[in-house]
Amino acid sequence: MRFPYLKQSIYFCLAVIITLGISISTQALLANWINPTAIPPDNNLSKPINVSEVTQFKLGNLGVGANFIPNEKFEVRDDTASTSRIRITDLNQNS
């Protein structure tokens, strides 16, 4: 046996090369990340409301309509209409 540690050296070199390759690939992926450049329009965040079947809630007041901060638990505003109306219907369009 001329080179008793040749096999272990080859395995070690392969392990180092594979580890470095994975490390460089991961760093390249992280380097390509670009942070958002602006906040969502009107601070409208998509979470935590989604379409799952799990009950969801948000603490605070809910405003619908123009860009305003609601004063009540549920407030609807339409600053463009001469008369504002609210209609609540079921699946059959029954008011």
Residue 54, pLDDT > 60, answer yes
pLDDT 10s digits, 3-35:
778 888 899 999 999 999 898 888 887 777 777
Query: With contact defined as beta carbons under 8 Å apart, do 87 and 95 qualify?
Result: yes
Q: What is the pLDDT of residue 45?
A: 59
Q: Which residue has the tokens 């109306």?
A: 85
Report, in this order, helix, strand and coil percent for the chain, each rounded to 5: 30, 10, 60
pTM for the full predicted model: 0.32
Name the more confident of 80 and 8: 8
